[in-house]
Amino acid sequence: MKKLRWGLLSTARINRALIKPIRASRRNELVAVASRTLEKAQTYADEWEIPRVFGSYEAMLADPDIDVIYNSLPNSMHAEWTIKAAEAGKHVLCEKPLAITVGEVDAILAAGEEAGVTIMEAFMYRHHPQNEKIKELINKGAIGELRLIRGSFSFNLDSPNNIRLDPALGGGSLWDIGCYPISFARMIADAEPIEAFGWQITGASGVDETFTGQLRFPDDLYLQFDCSFQTPYRVHMEIVGSENAIIVPQPYKPGSKEKIFLGDGNKKKKISMPGEGLYRGQVENMADVILDNKALCVSLSDSRNNIAAIKALLQSAREGKVISI
């Protein structure tokens, strides 16, 4: 059986979430890590028992014995190194956000098509069965007409030197965590927003540390969401219909056993379901696409539309007006 050989493009903390799933897969294996110095790459490889090391990103991309790159570099570097990896003939799983402009996504799409490689944005929650159950309930009419989607994602970020607060690296709460309720709402609506309005609190860092926004979809469906680095940990999605609502306690990182709630303000029914490893889902989906020509769970057009919505919200917050998308 052919195995896809993976290389980690950086020693970022998020790599930890992917190492075990790659090793647990029958069709994938972790073979290398790259950093900006050989010493740093070797230290990381020793800690995680990775057999090969590279002292530059370029050296890893030049190696013909690596099939897939996991791009966990800072946001502002995602597009550049995803394109370089594609041009080197590598498939890429890139951390979210895939890019920080729509133009960058278009360049990634063009590079992937030219090289004939697979590129996917790493929205891990999309690989959980919970999403299909929610859509099944909506399609069966369990909540009536879909009217409103509400979401939150926040946590206190105490370190002033965290890259999430660096404007030069694509920092900000909207790029880092606000992207989740936006992506989730678009998935549930099965449509794209047509208008955006946003408010932001910009901290000393120069990036939005709290963001609140609204997206209007066709047929007067709305998303209302908030995200923040200045408030305690909160995650939540609520899908409101004309008759009932679905409460999703763990929308962005559901576990191996998960539950959602269906009902109204007076009575709710708990619906339990088995799950699976989110990061394992990403790894297996890449293998399915590359080896079996199956469909991507998160297409590049999907990623493009999410980034277009984020850019419209940021523009709205700057200009203080509704932005058409």
Positions annotated as catalytic residues are 96
Closest by CA to 155, choosing from 91, 193, 210, is 210
Q: How far is CA 275 from CA 3, 145, 186, 208, 315, in A?
A: 25, 27, 22, 33, 37
- Nearest-angstrom CA–CA distance, 168 and 172: 10
Closest by CA to 181, choosing from 111, 243, 236, is 236
Instruction: Give DSSP secondary structure letters for 148-170.
Output: EEEEEEE-----TT-GGG-GGGT
Strand order in the sheet with 28-34: 52-54, 28-34, 4-9, 68-71, 91-95, 119-122
Virtual torsion, Cα 128, 132, 138, 140, nearest 10 deg: -150
Reduce the DSSP state of residue 45 to 3 states and report it: helix
- Residue 113 φ/ψ, nearest 5 degrees: -65, -40
Q: What angle is formed at CA 163 by the lines to CA 157 and CA 169, rounded to 5 degrees? A: 140
284 HSE (CA, 13 A, CB side)? 15
Task: Tell me the pairing of strands 119-122 and 268-274.
Answer: unpaired
